[in-house]
Structure 1
Amino acid sequence: MSKKNVNRAITVRFSASDYNRIVHDAEQKNGSVAEHIRAIISANDEQLSLDQRLVDLERRITNKTFSIVCAVANLSEHEREMVKMRLNGGK
């Protein structure tokens, strides 16, 4: 992130152990504490995005598998809906 995009400050209090770990990690990467915290936030955002993508992928795989199983079992639309309701806890 370029410095021209940085225009707001936030003050945060950390426990001594967290502070020491953050400073140590920043020093290991030859960067400033602020840069390191920005990188941590960015990595967290990327992880949340990845987690959501995995949830979406799991949902698509489950739906495809359900469709395949229903086709193999030769279920009618009504039977499919009944099975889907049972799998969703009767909802």
Structure 2
Amino acid sequence: MVLTELLTIPIIVVGVIVVLGLAFWARYKTVSPDEAMIVTGSFLGSKNVLTDDSGRKIKIVRGGGSFILPVFQQAEFVSLLSHKLDVSTPEVYTEQGVPI
């Protein structure tokens, strides 16, 4: 009986630590160097937070990570890679008939 009581408290403490660790792991979002994460909502902190003209705040995370509060914040990912744009131009000739 005494052994059971002695083991109960450490098991509960370890269980709480594991649950908190899993919750943190599930809500921590990482960003690769070639993308950005735009976080909107409340409780953004003060680092990398921008405010627009209407008073709304966004947080931009590039190449790192951030903990996202599930009820108060939303995260969207944006690629920072260059996009290829094909431009076709018609043949234009000078007055001497040379194509440009």
Q: Larger Cα Rg: Structure 1 or Structure 2?
A: 2
TM-score, shorter chain, exceeding 0.5? no
| Structure with the largest fraction of strand | 2
Structure-1-length-normalised TM-score: 0.37
Q: Relative contact order: is structure 1 or structure 2 higher (C-alpha 8 Å, sep ≥ 6)?
A: 2
TM-score, length of structure 2 as denominator length: 0.35
